[in-house]
Amino acid sequence: MPATSTGSFTLLHRFCALVVLLTFVHISVSLVFYVCSTDVSTAFLSIPKNPNRTVATEQLRSAEDHLGKELELQQCPDTSPLLGRGREVCVCVCPLTVELMCVYVTCVSVGPLTVEFGVEVTLQQVKEKNPDVMEGGWRPSDCVSVQRVAILIPFRHRDEHLKLWLHYMHPILQRQQLDYRVYIINQAGERRFNRAKLLNVGFTEALKDYDYNCFVFSDVDIIPLDDRNIYGCFDQPRHLSVSMDKFRFRLPYKQYFGGVSSLSKEQFLKINGFPNNYWGWGGEDDDIYNRCVFKGMTISRPSAQIGRCRMIKHKRDAKNDANPRRHSQITHTRETMETDGINSLTYKVVDIKKLQLFTNITVDVGQP
């Protein structure tokens, strides 16, 4: 055979060998990806289960367990990246907490907010704008929030105010990356209103749903003007509605603790909850302030700028007239707080409805 023919055959032989090798590598890689992307129990369905599994199967399961731990959600940052000061923030959303897996960018306007009460809002509109809110609550999908917050609103005959509150607050609470749920504590009947007792009921009933570690107590007619005013808990009891338009954006007096406040579960139990015997308007927030001070705690507040709020103007409810005994009751807080509170709470649940935007708890709290 001529030398040129021999050389061509050798070259062709080498080329064929290379093709075979590449085919083998391709099949091997495909097999590895198939095994890694298939449930072990499915991939080895034909193999009967027994306690003496092969070393290879054990190693594969160990690798899957390790991968699962790698994909566990991290704790949410102390300050949400979605909050700021009057600027647009864009955040890359990574469903698997891996930078290369970012699939889209979400941009929101943050910081000082424009709150208008002249607009008409329906519950359906609020639902459509907050599709991820279920049973009145939401939690981050890309991190684990340290704050498990129950937001409690004492309520009766304030449906229009509630629509506005839900319209503004659900987006804010989600940007704050809170694990939260909204509870409307609705007082049944037409007897004199008892705000503090309703909040005690909310605390008790909310803990039947979830292991909350933080409670925000909010009137339904107050909206914050800055999303950096965190509706969460701190080392000390927190007063959130620091400067309201009603008071020309000033704190009316140093001991003022009304409107919106927050206490951790431990702080709330330490003061024996709120008083049950304040019927009608006024006094209970000063009693709560006294309870905190008498238990060695101080009231923390955001800055006057971040703590700015707007209040919806309205007439006082007919059955929420001023409490004539409030001044006398406040002077006896130290004497009554150990026996009048969460440890002496009595009420009757009339109805509970878990709706998309809030959980409604209607209760009979009795009468004076």
Active site residues: 219, 221, 281, 284-285, 311, 314, 316
C-beta of residue 205 within 8 angstroms of C-beta of residue 365: no
CA–CA separation, 166 and 117 (whole Å): 12
8 Å CB contact between 358 and 346:
no
Radius of gyration of the chain, Cα coordinates, nearest whole angstrom:
30
> Following CA atoms 260, 320, 204, 229 in sequence, which dihedral angle do they give, to the nearest 10 degrees?
-10
* SS3 (DSSP) at 250: strand
Instruction: Mark 25-40 as b/e (b = at least 16 C-beta within 10 Å).
Output: eeeeeeeeeeeeeeee
Question: What's the sign of the alpha-carbon dihedral 177, 214, 261, 187?
Answer: positive
Instruction: Calculate the CA 261 to chain-centre distance.
Output: 16
Helix ranges (DSSP H) in the chain: 3-36, 40-43, 55-70, 123-129, 159-175, 195-206, 265-270, 284-294, 326-330, 333-336
Q: What secondary structure does DSSP assign to 49-102, as a single string? A: P-SS--HHHHHHHHHHHHHHHHTSPPBPPSS-TT--SSEEEEEEE-TTS-GGG-
193, 197, 201, 202 alpha-carbon torsion, rounded to 10°: 80
Q: Residue type at 132?
A: D
Structure tokens at 207: 């803990």
Q: Where does residue 326 rank: exposed (0-12), middle (13-18), buried (19+ CB within 10 A)?
A: middle
